[in-house]
Amino acid sequence: MMMEESESDSHSRQPELLEVGKHDSEDRISRLPDPILCHILSFLPAKHAVATRILSSRWNLVWTWLSNLCFDDEFCERPAIDDALTKDTAQRFDKFVHRLSLRALDPLFGLTNTFAGMNAYPRIGFEDFVNWVLDRTNSATLAKFSLQCSNLTDLSLLKFWVSSAIMRNVREIEIYLESHGLHTLFYFFERQDPVELPESLCTSTTLEVLVLYSDFVINIPPSGLCFPCLKFLHIEMYCLPNNLTERLFSACPVLEELSIVGLLVNADVVTNFNISSPTLKKLGIRFDIGDQGSSYNEHKILIRAPNLERFHIIDHALVSYMVHELHSLTEAFIDVSYFEWPSPSYVERPLPQAKRVLELLEGVNEIKFMSLSAETMFALDLAYEDFFPTFPNLTYLEVHIGGTSWKLLLAILNSLPNLEVLLIHSHAVRDSGFIFEEPVPRCLLFHVKKIEMRSFGGYEHEFQLVKYFLKNIVSLEKLIVKSWAQTSQEKLKQCQELLMFERASKFCQVEFL
């Protein structure tokens, strides 16, 4: 009886299963509303989005309402062969995608789909393609305009394209010209004149995000105010005229995030940066120098940002910092390098240029989280005499230590009275000359709860440091040691030695990884 019911149920479900299969063969995506289809296409490069017009009459004009226009000439020229694919497969796939695009575009470009063999096919000019798309898209408001181009032959077109995007009330602009990129200037020394952007860019009342990955010229209006609605700015510069660096970063009334990348190859030409903003919350700075660069420079940067919360700096030029009113700053990631060319045969301490890192730390001493790179510690070692600024609110310190900078560790800990978490990246040397002095820093006696040591090499001074921590930190709750030992036997030997050390804290857990 049960078998009969089961067979009956099976027969009753069969039409339903067939019906489901029937629906699955239909084109459900094409039945979606236009706004949803446009949203899907917005994640594609412009060329691929345009190519969807050949799918069916339903898709013929969907792309013309795109709110994101992302142009990349790698998608408009034949892409390089991926090493992960066989050459034949990659070429056939390349031709297939290109043919689809040509079929979508040839009625308007006057191209044909006739190919003279498999190794020859027409190419769409990148500049013509961008013009064609901008001329045929209907969206009155653009969410994003993105342009990535290896070599733009007619730079005047860039001003036209950016102006067109601004006229459509664009909210985000991203531009990268490889020929004017800093990596091209830095590694190949192919100096190009900076590209001038349209004046309408500075006065746009809708632009909120501006990302410039190449060397551009921005003409600030005579009023001194620009980008009235800009909240995020990333800019890369090779030409650093003071009329721009002293005015631009303080002229944006609602700017919240600022990222600056600068190439400071000429120490003889002084560049001054002025970053004064009552609205700025996040600041990132990266300065690089050429092969003949040096920390002997007079570049200056003024930072006055009372609402700044996060500060990340990578400075290989070690410029001079004047930092004021960072009352809201909670996090600072500091990676500055002292570099001199040619290298001196001997180094006198303290070095005036290296002291700039101490001046920078004095300006950010109200933070709660701080990360110091190994290069920063080296510069501090060259600058340190008997003074290190106090950080009364700091509870978390991440520090990369190697070479002689081990000697600075206790000096730094003595300046952090309320430290709770210490993360050490050990770039160890065999003989650090580390000396454990008395008295024990106050934070180690009363506040530190967690210590983590990474890249533990098993050197004697590393063991002595762990022994020092375990012996003196009464408040310690957890010690984590991550070894870079190559064999399990070596790790086991290190672990056994650590577990034998005396512990001042009855509740301390030791983890060896």
HEC assignment per residue over 17-59: HHHHHHHHCCCCHHHCCHHHHHHHHCCCCHHHHHHHHHCCHHH
28 exposed, middle or buried (CB, 10 Å; 0-12, 13-18, 19+)?
Answer: exposed
Q: Which of 341, 297, 334 has the alpha carbon at shortest distance from 319?
A: 297
Secondary element (H or E) of residue 13: helix 2-24
- Is 445 a domain residue? yes
Q: Give 388's pLDDT tier (boundaries 50, 70, 90).
A: confident
- The percent of residues above 70 in pLDDT, for the chain, comes to 70
Q: Which of 303, 418, 288 has the alpha carbon at shortest distance from 359?
A: 303
Per-residue pLDDT, averaged over 33-38, amounts to: 73
- Is 447 a domain residue? yes
Q: Is the dihedral of CA 127, 133, 134, 135 positive or negative?
A: positive
With contact defined as beta carbons under 8 Å apart, do 459 and 430 qualify? Answer: yes
Q: What are the φ/ψ torsions at residue 478 (nearest 5 degrees)? A: -150, 135
Distance CA 91, CA 78 (A): 9
- Is 183 a domain residue? no
Q: Is the dihedral of CA 180, 181, 182, 184 positive or negative?
A: negative
- Is 243 a domain residue? no
Query: With 70 as the cut, is the pLDDT of residue 104 above it?
Result: no
Distance CA 454, CA 462 (A): 11
- Is 426 a domain residue? yes
Please give the structure tokens belonging to residue 162.
Answer: 């950016």
CA of residue 245 relative to chain centroid, distance:
21
Which residues lie below 8 Å from residue 462, measured CB to CB, with a gap of 6+? 426, 428, 453, 456
With contact defined as beta carbons under 8 Å apart, do 193 and 274 qualify? Answer: no
Angle at 497 between CA 491 and CA 503, to 5 degrees: 125
Per-residue pLDDT, averaged over 235-249, amounts to: 82
Q: What is the pLDDT of residue 98?
A: 45
| Count of the separate structural domains present in the chain | 1
Q: Which of 161, 190, 199, 169 has the alpha carbon at shortest distance from 73?
A: 161
Per-residue pLDDT, averaged over 67-78, amounts to: 67
Q: Give 326's pLDDT tier (boundaries 50, 70, 90).
A: very high
Greatest mean pLDDT among 180-184, 266-270, 369-373: 369-373
Please give the structure tokens belonging to residue 462.
Answer: 């590393």
Q: Is the dihedral of CA 152, 156, 159, 161 positive or negative?
A: negative
The one-letter amino acid code at 215 reads D
Q: What is the pLDDT of residue 342?
A: 42
- Is 388 a domain residue? yes
Question: Crossing angle of helices 374-383/356-363, nearest 10°?
Answer: 110
Q: What is the pLDDT of residue 205?
A: 94
Q: Give 512's pLDDT tier (boundaries 50, 70, 90).
A: confident
Model pLDDT for residues 330-341, shown as the tens digit of each residue: 999 999 987 664
Q: What are the φ/ψ torsions at residue 511 (nearest 5 degrees)? A: -115, 125
Distance CA 299, CA 124 (A): 46
Residue with tokens 């921590």: 469
Distance CA 300, CA 488 (A): 51
Please give the structure tokens belonging to residue 73.
Answer: 């000439």
Distance CA 19, CA 30 (A): 20
- Is 155 a domain residue? no
Distance CA 453, CA 466 (A): 9
Show the 3-state SS of 458-501: CCHHHHHHHHHHHHHCCCCCEEEEEECCCCHHHHHHHHHHHHCC
Query: With 80 as the cut, is the pLDDT of residue 359 above it?
Result: yes
Residue with tokens 């690089």: 288
Query: With 70 as the cut, is the pLDDT of residue 4 above it?
Result: no
Average pLDDT, the chain: 76
Model pLDDT for residues 258-309, shown as the tens digit of each residue: 999 888 776 677 888 999 999 999 999 998 876 555 566 788 899 999 999 9
- Is 46 a domain residue? no
pTM of the predicted model, to two decimals? 0.77
Please give the residue range of the domain that contains residue 402: 370-512
Distance CA 468, CA 503 (A): 9
Within 10 angstroms of residue 124's Cβ, the number of other Cβ atoms is 18
DSSP bridge pairs for 282: 257, 310
Within 10 angstroms of residue 41's Cβ, the number of other Cβ atoms is 20
Greatest mean pLDDT among 73-82, 341-350, 434-443: 434-443
Secondary element (H or E) of residue 261: strand 257-263
